[in-house]
Amino acid sequence: MNLLIGLAIALAVGLTGIGGGSFTVPALVLLIGLPAETSVGTAFVFAGVLRLVAAPFYLAGRHVHWRYLWLLTQGAVPGLLIGTYVLRVLSRGSNSPIIVILLGMLLTASSSITFIPAAQNRSFTKKNSRWLPWFALPIGVEAGFSSAGAGALGTVLLLNYSEMTPAEVVGTDIFFGLVLAVLGSAFHWKFGSISSHVLVQLLEGGLPGVIIGCLFARRVPARKLKLAIAAIAIFAGLQLIYSGSRSLWGRPAAKAAGSTDSYLGATPPAC
């Protein structure tokens, strides 16, 4: 299961730059049963390795806008620190279902922007590049909190508000996500919120998957693929909201019955 999940997500990252956090966290929480904070930390490292492998492909094709990348990083790095701190605070005690619900809301909202053509302005960034750090700040916050955002929101921002081609958008976003993934991975590694066993299994499928995705990136209509990925991400976000809400509402009944079972995979005590 972990190998197949890693392969599918890595293909999406190699093709579009989207999916490292947006898909990995829901998959780890809903399918594998990892705690929310551990899922975020594991997704950070996994996405970082995938983007590190994909980066040379887009660098060789000169599909990186270095000035925009620098401006995005200026705003996203402080946001990453804020988001990571918020995640640590909410992870204490019994707030895990709340984290799951918030992850779902963030993922659904960020992916829905892709389907709003009226909000697009391709010349905005060229004329108002000084605003890029401010737009990147909330992206960094979301990335720190959920590991998602650098791919989904970063791509949406550059694709709809800059003059770059889709290939340049993906290449620039790959490096943007790589910077955030390296920093986020370091924080979560220090906190111990990473499942090494699951990470290794994800990478077994992810490493060949991201290479295949990069090799076929030029042959796939990127914009149509991005719409399909955004739709899947919205579904995953809604599923997170539903599952977290069900766990939160069922908690009083579980306590009354003396159960320690939870949404995040805990097992009830033996009779």
What does the domain layout of the chain look like in residue ranges?
2-256
pTM (global) more than 0.85 = no
- Structure tokens, 191: 């906190």
Q: Which residue has the higher pLDDT, 268 or 225?
A: 225
Taking residues 2-13, report their average pLDDT: 90
The DSSP 8-state label assigned to residue 229 in this structure reads H
Lowest mean pLDDT among 17-21, 212-216, 263-267: 263-267
Query: What are the pLDDT digits (tens) for 149-178?
Result: 677 778 778 877 788 888 888 889 899 989
Give me 240's structure tokens: 């997170």
The DSSP letter of residue 130 is G
Assess whether pLDDT exceeds 80 at residue 114: no
Greatest mean pLDDT range, 10-14, 140-144, 198-202: 198-202
The span from the first CA to the last CA of the chain, in angstroms, equals 31
CB 86 within 8 A of CB 145: yes
| Per-residue pLDDT tens over the stretch 64-90 | 999 999 999 999 999 999 988 887 777
Per-residue model confidence as pLDDT tens digits over 208-242? 999 998 888 777 776 676 677 778 778 877 877 88
- The residue-averaged pLDDT of 191-199 equals 86
Using CA atoms, how far apart are residues 45 and 55, in angstroms rounded to an integer?
15
HSE toward the beta carbon, residue 58, CA cutoff 13 A: 32
Per-residue pLDDT, averaged over 139-146, amounts to 82
Instruction: Kindly state the tokens that stand for 122.
Output: 């391709």
Cα(254)–Cα(243) distance, integer angstroms: 15
Torsion sign over Cα 109, 115, 121, 126? positive
pLDDT of residue 243: 76
More confident: 61 or 49: 49
